[in-house]
Amino acid sequence: MRTCFQRHRLLLLFLFLSEIFSSVGGSSVQEVIGAVGESVTFTTSVPVSGNLIYKGGTVGQVLNKQSDTNTSEKFMNRLDWVSQSGFFTLSDLRTDDSGLYTVESLKEPKGRQDYQLEVYERVSAPQVKNTTYNSSELCSFLCSVRNVRGLKLDLYEDDVLLNHTSSSNTSDTTLNLHLEIKKTDDHRRRTFSCVASNRVSTEKTTIDITHYCSLNTDIDDDNQKRNVIIPVVVSVLSVLAVIVTFVYLRKRKRESRRRTEDSSATEGLNEEVQYSVINHKKPTQANIRERVPEEACPLTTIYDQIRPERSEYSNSGPE
């Protein structure tokens, strides 16, 4: 009899403790994570009547399946009650929406649930900057990203974490992570990456080491020599080109002038006129008598000899 009574006491104690733990579990705070510009849903149903409470003040009401979600200016046109599910939904999230929300259902099924909403901005892609200065052995660069709430910045070589940092507050505008490596050809076969993340987003930037710094010091020396030699060679070739052009133009000018002079001389010779004196013999009486009338004999062509005119110098000499 005593044993049976003890069993009943243990059973009642077990049921009592189960009720306590279930009630405590039902009132525990659930964490809800949201991103700026997106929406979240509080998954405690209010099918008939109930409230949504934010920091002690009612921001949404449901009474006999009729809702009023514009009671707060802060959540104006952003808070909705879905009649099919009985859930409250908050859209177009802002960082200042973070805080404690309570959903309570006043009619069957009754219930109450607290939600801790945390709203985060999405992270941007990290930017990589070369910070190597006059070093032939070391290569360094800086990985930076715009600082937002809950930001973490990690630097990886392949899948191995090399360095990391996180933001304790958002007063700093950027979060930076510095890396310095020794120049070796072995790094050409490795992949470096900078990863920015928080609870709602992740962005990754792959770092091409050969782009930000040369890993071969001999190549660096050759590049420096080439950078010096090329401008010198270009300068010399430019001067030679100017000299050759000047000589060529001068030669063409001389040839053109010579052709002009030759042409003028030729035209002068063509314009000279040579004069000669034609001497005629006077007819004699004998020749006159021997003439025959033109009607009695055929026409005959007579040619006279042309002799050059003598100059004054020739006339003044001995005859």
The maximal CA–CA distance of the chain, rounded, in angstroms, is 206
Measured CA distances, 25 to 20, 30, 55, 114, 176 (Å): 9, 10, 21, 11, 42
CA separation for the pair 216, 209 (Å, rounded): 12
Sheet with 174-182, strands from edge to edge, namely: 127-130, 138-146, 174-182
Share of the chain above pLDDT 70, in %: 66
Name the one residue in this structure whose structure tokens are 């009338």: 293
* Most confident among 31-35, 133-137, 273-277 (mean pLDDT): 31-35
pLDDT tens figures, 212-246: 776 554 544 555 566 678 888 888 888 888 898 88
Report residue 281's pLDDT band, with 50, 70 and 90 as the boundaries.
Answer: low
Lowest mean pLDDT among 130-134, 271-275, 279-283: 271-275
Query: In the chain, what are the domains?
Result: 30-120 (2.60.40.10), 127-212 (2.60.40.10)
Indicate the pTM of the whole model.
0.57
CA separation for the pair 213, 215 (Å, rounded): 6
pLDDT score recorded for residue 155: 93
pLDDT score recorded for residue 244: 87
Instruction: State both tokens at 318.
Output: 């001995």
